[in-house]
Amino acid sequence: MSYDYIIVGAGSAGCILANRLSESGRHSVLLLEAGERDASFWFKVPVGFTKTYYNRRYNWMYYSEPEAQLADRKLYCPRGKVVGGSGSINAMVYVRGQRSDYDDWAAAGNPGWAYDDVLPYFRKLETHAAGATDPQHHGATGPIHITSMKADVHPIVHEFLKGCGELNLPRTDDFNGAQFEGAGIYDLNTKHGERCSSSFAYLRPALDRANLTLRSGVLVRRVTFDGTRATGVVIAGGHGDETLVAAREVILAAGAVDTPKLLQLSGVGDPALLARRRVPLVHALPAVGRNLQDHLCVSFYFKANRPTLNDEMGTLLGKMKIGLRYLLTKRGPLAMSVNQAGGFFRGTADAQEPNIQLYFNPLSYRIPKSDRASIKPEPYSGFLIAFNPCRPTSRGTIEIASNRAEDAAKIHINALTTQKDLDEAVQGSKVIRALMRAPALKSMTVEEISPGPQVDSDEAMLQYFREQSGSIYHLCGSCAMGPDAATSVVDASLRVHGLQALRIVDASVFPNITSGNINAPTMMVAEKGADLVLADAGRGDAAAVRASERETVTH
């Protein structure tokens, strides 16, 4: 079968692309997704992400390769295997990042991607309460609804904010507004107490269009080419493989792990790697799978002298009350993220901008490994504060493990390989320790459970980070945007260098990771990417009309 556009991956980006490219009715669009439809109740409940955390039905459950600098550990890297992608299983914290993140994209040779260029797309995708009062920074009519947790945060969250104030740290009412730096309460992409993913907000309203087709449960084996032009994809089928044709473009939106994997399986990448994996070379592009970035996060656990969410969620009666409140009102802990507050701070006095992100959770918990996992509060009144450096400079890789699409790619995080990253792993720990000396936080704390007071030197703090940090699931950058085909994969229009009719629109194109959670930037990339695709289509159609007119005149 033939379509104008074939989109591979119905994640945060793919769902937006499917909506925008089919919006006019002029183009036929096929959206392919390896996972199932997001029909379960738990995809609506904000805290329902714990139910998919270790569930292979909806989660690829990838692991990185062991690394000496992380105490020879494999890091867990959950990825959404469901319509909506990782945006269907994440914790929904909505942070755009800071101005310099995007200005750095533009400075790396990507015109049109500076902060002032991308801000209109952030506004376009959102409906925000501040859209009427702060239209410079917020939208009021976009598909993704953004909700503040300010009205329902746990009381101890205010002690965290008070403690930040006691240390004269900045305070912000809106991380996505005029002031990024400081402590505050996070926004979520929720609507009326339910997850507002790009699947719910963009894809579902568009599925009744005759020119849009969604096929779920479909594994894409490779992109097909005629010379250097992408012509379609091969998908696995129960009765043999099937070839689907794209008349205009193939667009990869499979994410930072599976987009470079699919390129490599298709013969696009580092020739040496492809030779080792016995994949015929179609186009040498050595940067495919390189430049991988992620935020590594570590948690500090504390015992409190007053009730926390542990007390509510740690008993059967408490769980029943929370569940009933949610069912009746769509409010309460189940309607929120566990990361209720946090902030962006400078790890040293001479830092040029915020380089440490904090998360304040009014409970301390684990998620036991089980396909029926849920939050398991620690058996005491507790809370935790976690941090991750905002802009790590270590770079990893994604490499195919074989020439089979069924086999997971090898994820090399390659963390803590620069002095800056080593320094910031210690700085973040010191920021938390300084906060805990603030009177408001000190007065409600019985003890630090983990790492504990014995971890008090720079060396010990770094070792704790090496042994206990984990991915916070912000993988990006593995098909970076840039002007040079030797060091990047796509140009500023997201077209793959050296190939025609092949584009990438997902988090893998980030030249550098953004400061904060990356779902919002990924959706912005999709909105802008859709405009880039349609602009090229318009130019192509206009050129075809002119050519037809010339031919008519000639005859």
Token code pair at residue 411: 């994820």
State phi, psi for 221 to the nearest 5 degrees: -85, -45
Whole-angstrom distance, CA of residue 181 vs CA of residue 184: 9
Whole-angstrom distance, CA of residue 258 vs CA of residue 409: 8
Closest to 314 in 3D by CA, of 412, 382, 405: 382
The residue type of 2 is S
CA dihedral of residues 63, 65, 69, 75 (deg, nearest 10): 0
Active site residue 158: no
State phi, psi for 208 to the nearest 5 degrees: -85, 0
Which member of 27, 145, 283, 474 is catalytic? 474
Closest to 169 in 3D by CA, of 190, 183, 186, 187: 183
Whole-angstrom distance, CA of residue 504 vs CA of residue 488: 12
Whole-angstrom distance, CA of residue 482 vs CA of residue 491: 5
Token code pair at residue 370: 């089980």
CA dihedral of residues 86, 92, 93, 99 (deg, nearest 10): 50
Token code pair at residue 553: 């005149």
Task: Spell out the residues 6+ positions from residue 507 whose beta carbon is closer than 8 angstroms to its own.
Answer: 13, 255, 256, 475, 476, 477, 518, 521, 522, 525
Phi-psi sector, 448: left (phi>0), alpha (psi -120 to 50), beta = beta
β pairing state of 242-252 and 2-8: parallel
* Widest Cα–Cα separation across the chain: 90
Phi-psi sector, 9: left (phi>0), alpha (psi -120 to 50), beta = left
**Helix locations, 88-201, DSSP H:** 99-107, 115-125, 155-166, 198
Helix axes 155-166, 419-436, angle to 10 degrees: 110
C-alpha dist (Å) from residue 464 to 297, 303, 412, 434: 11, 19, 21, 17
Whole-angstrom distance, CA of residue 343 vs CA of residue 186: 8
Task: Spell out the residues 6+ positions from residue 348 whose beta carbon is closer than 8 angstroms to its own.
Answer: 427
Token code pair at residue 399: 């490499």
CB 360 within 8 A of CB 339: yes
Positive or negative, the CA dihedral 416, 420, 423, 425 is negative
β pairing state of 194-195 and 397-399: unpaired
Closest to 260 in 3D by CA, of 249, 272, 269, 251: 269
CB 344 within 8 A of CB 354: yes
The residues carrying an active-site annotation are 474
